Every structure is written in C-alpha cells, then in structure tokens.
Structure 1
Amino acid sequence: MKLLQITAFMIAALLLMAAPTWADSRQDAHRIGAFAGAMKYCVEIDDGREGRYKMARLRAFKEVDDMSSKRKVDAIIARDIAYDRGRYLGRKLDRNHCRQLVKASEWRRFFN
C-alpha cells in the first residue's frame, strides 16, 4: 500500500513539473498567433510597410506550422481574434504600434 502511495505521489509530482512547460508552450502559441493576426491587421492600416508586415506574418506562420495540433489551434484562434478586434495582447493596434511590433527585439527572429 505504501508503495502505491509513493508511486502516485511521484506521478503527481512529475505532472506538476511538466505543467509550466505545457502552459508556456500554449502561451507561445497564443503570442505567435496573435502576432500573425496583428500583422494581417497592420497591412490594412499601414500601406507604407506592407511588405515587412507580410514577411513577419509568413515567418510566424512557419513557426506555427511546426507546432503540435493543439498548439496550432491555439495559435489560429489567437490570430483570428487579434485580426478581428484590431488588438495585440490587449493593446489597440494603430500605425505606430504596428511599426513598433516589427521593430521589437523579440520579433527580430522573423527577419533573419
């Protein structure tokens, strides 16, 4: 009986240690999907940088393509919400915010 309790405790501990990684991966999927939706919205409101927004969006799509199916769904939902609402992670998108997003260091990986 004691061995069963120890085993159950070990399994629970392993699951709890893995939970933050799973949550982080869902956050990454949400963030990347929202970025792709924001770039689609930015193309419509800022003609001057259309090519750059499209490039960033395509690179984000490539990253989404490498995700597991559950994470892809999260990214696609976040993309659609960001585009429909014209918001990126809660902040309203305007021309200046769009330009800041493509210049932000966290997204430079999309332009390598």
Structure 2
Amino acid sequence: MKLIKICAAVLTPLAMLLASPAWADSRQDAHRIGAFSGAMKYCIENDSDREGRYKMARLRAFKEVDDMSSRRKLDAIAARNLAYDRGRYLGRRLDRDHCRQLVKASEWRRFFN
C-alpha cells in the first residue's frame, strides 16, 4: 500500500508535466481561433466589399470553437470578444488591408476547402 502511494506521488506530477505542453498548445490554438473569429466580426463591419468571405470564415471558426472542450471554448470566446472590442488581431490593428490579408493567409485556407 505504501509503494502505491509513493508511485502515485511521483507519477502524478510527472504526468502533469508531460501533459502541460499539449494543454498550453490547445489553449493557444483556442485563443488564436477565437481572436480570428472576433477579427472577422470586426472586418465584416469595416470592410463591406468582402463581407461574404468574412462571414464564411467566421462561421467556420465558430464551428471549430463549438467542438472544443468547455475550458478551451471560454478561452476562445474571451479572445473573440477582446479582438472585436479592441479592433486588433494578436496585437496588430485591424484595417481594411489587414482584414483582407487574414482571409488570404495560408493558415486560414483550411476554412475555405
């Protein structure tokens, strides 16, 4: 019984250390997708020429957020609201050109397949 407690005391922190990078990556991914969704909402209101593309990208990002765990959803929603309210995507001010670059960026092409 004592050996089991010792093993649990050693293995639990080790398991947490091994799992933390994946968890951090998933939180970063949730933040980026949420921020992208907020940026697309901001772009819809400020660049009506490409409104349809922004709406489609935002919808696809929303679907990806919808499949996330509760904690990751909260991170994505917070990032979405922050990006929209501030008019910034990952620290960079959103203007017409930046909005168009975001929709064309290779990392978001998966939304248009």
TM range (shorter): over 0.9
The equivalent of 2:34 in structure 1 is: 33
Q: CA deviation at 1:31?
A: 0.5
- Counterpart CA distance in 1 for 2:22 and 2:95 is 33
- Counting only pairs closer than 5 Å after superposition, residues 62-101 of structure 1 correspond to structure 2 as 62-101=63-102
- Counterpart CA distance in 2 for 1:84 and 1:7 is 46
- Counterpart CA distance in 2 for 1:42 and 1:14 is 42
Aligned residues: 112
The equivalent of 1:106 in structure 2 is: 107
**Which residues of structure 2 form unaligned runs of 5+?**
none
TM-score (norm 2): 0.93
- Counterpart CA distance in 2 for 1:2 and 1:77 is 44
Amino acid at match of 1:55: M
The equivalent of 1:53 in structure 2 is: 54
- Counterpart CA distance in 2 for 1:65 and 1:7 is 35
After the TM superposition, list the runs of 4 or more consecutive aligned residues in structure 1 that deviate by more than 2 angstroms: 1-7
TM-score (norm 1): 0.94
Structure 1 vs Structure 2: percent identity of aligned residues? Answer: 74
Question: 1:69/1:3 Cα in 2 relative to 1: closer, same or farther (>3 Å)?
Answer: closer
**Which residues of structure 1 form unaligned runs of 5+?**
none
CA RMSD of aligned residues (A): 1.2
